[in-house]
Structure 1
Amino acid sequence: MQNTATPTHCPYCALQCGMNLTPTPDGTVEVSERADFPVNRGALCGKGRTAPAVLARNVRLTSPLVRDAGGTLVPASWDEALDRIAAELSRTRAEHGPDAVGVFGGGGLTNEKAYTLGKFARVVLGTSQIDYNGRFCMSSAAAAGIKAFGLDRGLPFPLEDIPKSGCVILVGSNLAETMPPSLRFFTELKENGGTLIVIDPRRTRTAEQADLHLAPRPGTDLALALGLLHLVIAEGRVDEEYVRERTAGWEDARAAAMAHWPEYVERITGVSVPQLRETVRLFCEPESAMVLTARGPEQQSKGTDTVGAWINLCLATGRPGRPLSGYGCLTGQGNGQGGREHGQKADQLPGYRKLDDPAARRHVAEVWGVDPDSLPGPGRSAYELLDALGTDIRSLLLMASNPVVSAPRAAHIEERIKSLDFLAVCDVVLSETAALADVVLPVTQWAEETGTTTNLEGRVLLRRRAVTPPEGVRSDLEVMHELAARLGVEKGFPTDPEEVFEELRRASAGGPADYSGITYRRLAEENGVFWPCPSPAEAGGPGEGARPDGQLEVVDMGEDALLDAPLPDDPARETPTAHPGTPRLFLDRFATPDGRARFVPVSHRATAEEPDDEYPVLLTTGRVVAQYQSGAQTRRVAELNAAAPGPFVEIHPRLAARLGVAEGDPVAVVSRRGRAVAPARITNAIRPDTVFMPFHWPGEGRANTLTNPALDPTSRMPEFKACAVRLEAVAREAVAEESIAEETVAEETAVRETVERETVEREAVSAR
């Protein structure tokens, strides 16, 4: 094991903060500041600082597990586990057809693994049934961005632009808890004289930093954006020249907005007319301004239209494609951006190509060495795929996801998973979903492998291997290589991540998310490269069709032209040949056929489930600073559990008084889908008609037992952020004192000890 510091990146959120890792003599790993990375400049949140805790042998899986005849997961050899997976997947395909096999991925997979998983599903299994948990992250923003701009990249500008803007409207993001190191950009914005407006039903830690906080009723962000656009029009603040020269579709969008007058919007949202007018003034007066959305407006059954309304506001005021201005989405998962660009999403091929585009199919099929007609068409979206388990889909291969905790209507999804003929899970830990599997494969994690991720800015980064994985652990790439061979595909699934990335470059060349000009060498020497970054068409110059805004149409010059293009400072050549990457999109034109952005007319509509007499309160969900996503990893870190040991229900004092509930009293939250129980947290920081629950925990306090799987018609995003519930007081003695985190750790410790004991016994028998 090396003892020098390795520069790499955090495994958690889409900031992908830079850090240094150094193995220590006692076998642990030390995290230290990496100030050269511009996204976090050395700062780390508690999750990042404690990330190496999950590398410990006593926390993670180190042996394959196979369910025996008695229904117990027991240790097995790798050959036994892989043979069983291959046999079960083959049986399912033979008996029910290829689409009876499903594949479910994760936004934490590296680009190389996400790319290979999509290829594995379509080439080896021949199934269309593949999607990933990133569908639950920012699919609505992606759909709206493509409609408006012709291209989706979370942020079309680097984070460093935020402090230089005149005003930022932050919609539905509590980044002080979800992405703490990013808060400095907004602090600097205010220090520079800019204005921060936060829109959130709760007065979060982020909202406390705002110059103006608007607290709309959950599910009404669409009406709010339309009301603001109405005022922009009524007050003569439309940038008429910009609209005329750089956009299309304004008249229809204008008419839709004019139907949402301020008093009407006040009644829908609860945001007063004076606050609406002040928001418009603060946003329109500076020369530059931005709107940034996150899960709040996106995780709705009308999320695409909601984000589209905020984009319309930006377009009407002339913001997108201008310096220090525009619209952006704050991606959540670590590789949520790259994870959907390269093929694990139901309708996409590598390079952000569409699966139903014949030209895209031909290009990717040629790289893969298969017939384009052999590639299946688009499959089900994430929730629809999970909902089909045990019926249309009989076997499932799942990587890096924990839908038993993270999916909406989670109790139903848990039952669908249990009804499968066969489930195989690749994970670092024995998550709640892995515990239901027939085979569990222990795989390497962030610090034990090299690979690339793409952060929320579209900055492609190189995570470097810093430590050696424990014996008995293999990478996801090795898993897919071995399974492909067992299923009759001997070639095309390399285990070396750089070799995979070289193929990804060729597959993405000329696509919207063009990585063909990016190499591991460049990433090792630079602080990331922004896509699109096409390869040079020839040694002396940039690719054909290059434009300064980065919207490039590059011809594929073959493998030799794509490999190891010289860096800009390479003394071996006289003229630049490597594309520098594209930090800022749309400066000259948008990625549409005519270069114009599109207004999309939208109108307010209610949430899929409005409160009524039986369920009179709205539930909204979110995260806390010390836990991450389903908590599968963070709930194994003692320091994080001490800070956030279990679920809670955030309740306004007036609502608590009506229920007769005091601080810490157990409260049942009941929806049409189920019941969750957690302690009350009484606070004025939430609306009286709304309650909040974090979604990191399984068991009795599982928030996603309650959430509504109503889907956005375009993005297929479930409506996590608003559902109707009722509250019931619960006697304290009916609630176990031990926290969910403690229960989880205790259960998994018992499983791990059993696995280790049986492994030792097996080895002893083999030795005899």
Structure 2
Amino acid sequence: MSLKVIDTQCPFCSVQCKMQVIEEKSSADARPVYTVVPKPNLASEGRLCMKGMNAYQHVLTGERIRYPLMKKEGQFVRISWEEAYACITSKFNKLRDSYGKDTIGLYGGGSLTNESAYLLGKFARVALKTKYIDYNGRFCMSAAASAGVKVFGIDRGLTNQLADIEYAECIILAGTNIAECQPTLMPYFTRAKEKGASIIAIDPRETGTTRIADLHLRVKPGMDATLANGMLKVLVEEGLIDQTFVNRLTVGFDELRTHLEEFDLAEIAELSGVPAEKIRQAALAYGKAATGMVFTARGVEQQTDGHMAVRNFLNLVLLTGKIGKQGCGYGAITGQGNGQGGREHGQKADQLPGYRLIENPEDRAYVAGVWGIDPSELPGKGVSAYEIMQNIHEQEIRALFVMGSNPLVSNPNANFVKEGLKKLDFLVVADFLMSETAQLADLILPVTAYLENGGTLTNLEGRVLLREAGMPAPGEAKHDWQILCELAEKLSRGSFFNFTEVEDIFNELRLASRGGTADYYGITYERLREEEGVYWPCPELDHPGEKRLFASAFPMPGGRALLTTVENHLPKERVSDEFPLYLTTGRVLTHYLTGVQTRKSHSLVARDVESFMEIHPKTAKKYRIEDATLVKLESRRGIIYVRSRFSSDIREDTVFVPMHWGDSQNVNKLTLDELDPTCRMPGFKVCALKVSPLVSEV
């Protein structure tokens, strides 16, 4: 009997639960048996959900990509790494010579480690010198991130620790389904309830999260900012504001008060779909509570007014002074495992490491100094993830390097995206499983998975965690950071990527982030091993890390946060006689993102083998839909086919479809590609739809 214990952490959501994967073999040639055991840790407190318990399955599947694959005559054939690198170098150089350096785009992912995310940004700007880089986290956190920067002066998922939740007397959960997306966090909220907390959930449908709420506000899709205006109006009229805090630590109150006076609560109720009395009840509960927290997620953020909608929820926090102390704060519930760290160190189009801005001369000079180049060599700001797809369609970008993402399924208006990807002169995908995007690639590079690839990740609290590598790479797979270093060498830029260990990359990241908003300088691998994670900002080696932000002031002019006037915004696409229903999208407990990993887990896919449409029985009857039957869903952009699922827990004017499936079940063939004007987030959560039975009665 042999026994191997691998200490690791879950590769999925932003909690990043710690665990052990135990491999047992009765003999040398016996098939191993795997057991997963949760490890005590400060974030999940030793809990795992079903995704974490079964995450090893997609790593150990026989469907791993183990060798470089090149498409020849429509089929993938195995080639050597030397051939792969020679092909990439030749294609990139020819395209740059013909069309300029910005003809190459890079597309990253929010599950990459901090080290790989950092290196991908550096590779784009130093090795390729292209301005075109962005990542799938644009679709996760960009609305909340940009709002946090504008209002607070800093974007960190939670302004305080998870441990503060149970001390909140009132909690607002806006557009977040924690029970299915981050289930190991639920005990924080149940403990708060046991201590008497009131929970208010804002969602157009009933979910595992809304079921723990004392008050469920079934908002119309896309009308969250309007609902928040109603709550703000009640707070001001009832005198439930912390005037001392507002006067001392905010600006813009007089303008906001005047703005709210213009609204009529009955009109807001009509627009939002939430009765006026319920709006009042929610505002009074939050306003009267001594402590309170507000959480937002994709339901609020994936809107064409997501940035301003989040700012309106931040108005609730600021008007009541519920921030910077125990049991108070704001949290943007990050979706991806490293959605927080992934956007801090250079994957976003406008950012450099440490949350520095690529168009800020001082930021450019500092990072260029760390990288050993002249600031003039750094390209300017690129465009957002979906805008990269638009530029591909226009053939402004003619080659795309995708690492750790599946843009064909995750982008809105997926048919348009597929048309564009097919126009590319050259598509390279680095992944460890075959995704829908990889199937279109000219070249696939095999990378290691979470059990094999060490590095740091930053969870939703802003706590930096170290994940150690526990297994060797299968076949000829390489770590993603190794691929970038070796490619840089082939492109004659290897002297800037002379890393042999992942810790070496982190040490350069520490230096590149020093003095920035997301300052990691005081964090080391040694500290992470000893302390089980360190919060940023952490500017010095002896600094404990900031567990709670804004205890005395905000990193804004005069130390004051910004109150914002927000208009009542209507969705970009409205229902009509032809498209009479609203479509909203989201996640289910058993799957993650575009499902590339979870659909390779036999235990998870057995629970949800196919996609579905959740529809109210009354609505289904109107459109001749039977329960558990195949239906056709059509928007102005495309058609998909899924199975119906009746639920009385959803609004009658709305249907819900999860986002985890591709091909004929890819809900993003339907979604709207209008973008938020500030953060460039697509409006995934609202589009107009019509439904019909797949087989009509004669």
Compute the TM-score of the two structures, normalised by the length of structure 2: 0.97
Q: Paired residue for 2:175, among 172, 175, 178? A: 172
Residue pairs, 1:208-223, within 5 angstroms: 208-223=211-226
Residue 283 of structure 1, aligned match among 283, 286, 296: 286
**Aligned match of 1:21:** 21
Could you tell me which of 666, 690, 693 is aligned with 1:726?
A: 690
Give the Cα–Cα distance (whole angstroms) in 2 for the partners of residues 722 and 731 of structure 1: 27
Q: Quote the Cα distance in structure 2 between the aligned partners of 1:19 and 1:2.
A: 20
- The 3-state SS of whatever aligns with 1:482 is helix
The residue that corresponds to 1:738 in the other structure is none
Letter in 2 for 1:463: R
The 2-side partners of 1:11 and 1:732 are apart by 43
Secondary structure class of the residue paired with 2:354: coil
Amino acid at match of 1:499: D
Aligned to 1:184: 187
Q: Which amino acid in structure 2 is aligned with residue 524 of structure 1?
A: R
Structure-1 residue corresponding to 2:424:
420
Number of the residue aligned with 2:486: 482
Q: 2:535 aligns with which of 525, 530, 534?
A: 530
Given that 1:223 and 1:260 are in contact with CA atoms closer than 8 Å, whether structure 2 keeps it comes out as: no
- Contact 1:695-1:703 within 8 A present in 2 as well: yes
Kept in 2: contact 1:342–1:348 (CA 8 A) = yes
Question: What is the 5 A alignment of 1:433-444?
Answer: 433-444=437-448
Decide whether the 8 Å contact of 1:618 with 1:691 is kept in 2: yes
The residue type paired with residue 7 of structure 1 is D
Counterpart of 1:561 in structure 2 is none
Which of 355, 364, 367 is equivalent to 1:364?
Answer: 367
**Structure 2 CA distance for aligned equivalents of residues 291 and 87 of structure 1:** 51
Contact 1:673–1:707, Cα closer than 8 Å, also in 2: yes
Q: Unpaired segments of 5 or more residues in structure 1?
A: 536-564, 566-577, 735-768
Q: Which residue of 2 aligns with 1:760?
A: none
2:203 is the alignment partner of 1:200: yes
Look up the equivalent residue of 1:101 and give its one-letter code: I
Q: Map residues 59-78 of structure 1 onto 2, 5 A cutoff.
A: 59-68=63-72, 70-78=73-81
Q: AA paired with 2:536?
A: W
Instruction: Find 1:429's aligned residue among 416, 430, 433.
Output: 433
Classify 1:327/1:29 alpha carbon distance in 2 versus 1 (closer, same or farther; 3 Å). Answer: farther
- 2:99 aligned partner, one-letter code: H
Secondary structure at the counterpart of residue 13 of structure 1: coil
628, 652, 670: which one aligns with 1:688: 652
Deviation at 1:2, TM superposition (A): 9.5
Q: Is the 8 A contact 1:665 1:732 kept in 2?
A: no
Could you say which residue in structure 2 is the equivalent of 1:559?
Answer: none
1:86 deviation in Å? 1.4
Q: Which residue of 1 aligns with 2:544?
A: 580
Q: Structure 1 residues 125, 19: closer, same or farther in 2, change over 3 A?
A: same
Q: Which of 131, 134, 139 is the equivalent residue of 2:137? A: 134
Aligned position for 2:152: 149
Letter in 2 for 1:634: T
Amino acid at match of 1:81: A
Match of 1:51 among 24, 47, 55: 55
Is the CA contact 2:554–2:561 (under 8 Å) kept in the aligned structure 1? yes
Deviations 1:646-703 (A, max 9, x none): 1111111111111111111211111110111111111101000000000111121111
SS of 1:681 mapped into structure 2: strand
SS at match of 2:512: helix
User: How far, CA to CA, are the matches of 1:32 and 1:492 in structure 2?
Assistant: 40
1:39 to 31, 43, 51: 43
State the alpha-carbon separation in 1 of the partners of residues 251 and 607 from structure 2. 50
For the residue of structure 1 that corresponds to 2:54, the secondary structure is helix
Relative to structure 1, the CA distance from residue 389 to residue 2 in structure 2 (aligned partners, 3 Å threshold; closer, same or farther) is farther
Following superposition, the deviation at residue 383 of structure 1 comes to 0.4
Q: Deviations over 1:89-117 (max 9, x none)?
A: 11111110011000000000000000000
Look up the match of 1:664: 628
Measure the CA separation in 1 of the matches of 2:33 and 2:567.
53
User: Which residue, 502, 517, 520 being the options, matches 1:515?
Assistant: 520
Q: Which residue of 2 aligns with 1:491?
A: 495
Specify which of 381, 402, 417 is matched with residue 378 of structure 1. Answer: 381
| Partner of residue 327, structure 1 | 330
| Comparing 191-200 and 32-41, the one that deviates more | 32-41
Measured in 1, the distance between the counterparts of 2:433 and 2:600 equals: 9
The equivalent residue for 2:120 is 117
Return the letter of the residue paired with 2:485: H
What amino acid maps onto 1:531 in structure 2? W
- Cα distance in 2 for partners of 1:22, 1:82 equals 36
> Are the equivalent residues in 1 in contact too, given 2:234–2:284 (CA < 8 A)?
no
Asked whether the equivalents of residues 160 and 324 of structure 2 are also in contact (C-alpha less than 8 Å), the reply is no
Give the total of aligned pairs. 692
Contact 1:23 1:467 in 2 (8 A): no
Question: How far did residue 236 of structure 1 move?
Answer: 1.2
How far apart, in 2, do the equivalents of 1:29 and 1:533 lie?
41
Q: 2:317 matched to 1:318?
A: no
Flag the 1:604–1:31 CA change in 2: closer, same or farther, 3 A. Answer: farther
Taking structure 1 as the reference length, the TM-score comes to 0.89
Q: Which moved more, 1:387-396 or 1:19-28?
A: 19-28
Rounded Cα–Cα distance in structure 1 between residues aligned with 2:646 and 2:21: 40
SS in 2 for 1:679: strand
Distance in 1, matches of 2:608 and 2:626, equals 20
The AA in structure 2 aligned to 1:64 is P
- The residue number in structure 2 matching 1:158 is 161
* Number of the residue aligned with 2:312: 309
Q: Which residue of 2 aligns with 1:10?
A: 10
**Residues 505-551 of structure 1, C-alpha deviation per residue, up to 9 Å, x if partnerless?**
0000000000000000011111210000012xxxxxxxxxxxxxxxx
C-alpha separation in 2, matches of 1:259 and 1:406: 39
Contact 2:13 2:337 in 1 (8 A): yes
What's the offset of the Cα at 1:593?
Answer: 2.6
- Aligned-pair identity in percent equals 46
Matched ranges for 1:317-356 at <5 A: 317-356=320-359
Of 392, 403, 406 in structure 2, the residue corresponding to residue 402 of structure 1 is: 406
RMSD after superposition: 1.5
**Residues 14 and 333 of structure 1 are in contact (CA less than 8 Å); yes or no, is this contact kept in structure 2?**
yes
| Residues 477, 495 of structure 1: 8 Å contact kept | no
Partner Cα separation in structure 2 for residue 516 and residue 225 of structure 1: 38
Distance 1:166 1:681 in 2: 36
Q: What secondary structure does 1:268 align onto?
A: helix
For residues 202 and 691 of structure 1, what CA distance do their matches in structure 2 show?
9
Instruction: Give the aligned residue type for 2:419.
Output: E
Query: In structure 2, what is the equivalent of residue 650 of structure 1?
Result: 614
1:620 pairs with 2:625:
no
2: CA distance between counterparts of 1:57 and 1:88?
32
- The CA deviation at 1:4 is 4.5
Letter in 2 for 1:440: I
Q: Is the 8 A contact 1:505 1:518 kept in 2?
A: yes
CA offsets per residue over residues 173-200 of structure 1, 9 Å max, x none? 1111111111111111101111111100
Amino acid at match of 2:519: D
1:27 deviates by: 6.0
Whether 1:461 aligns to 2:425 is no
CA distance in structure 1 between the partners assigned to 2:33 and 2:117 by the alignment: 27
CA deviation profile, 1:464-508 (whole Å, cap 9, x unmatched): 111112131111111111110111112122141100000000000
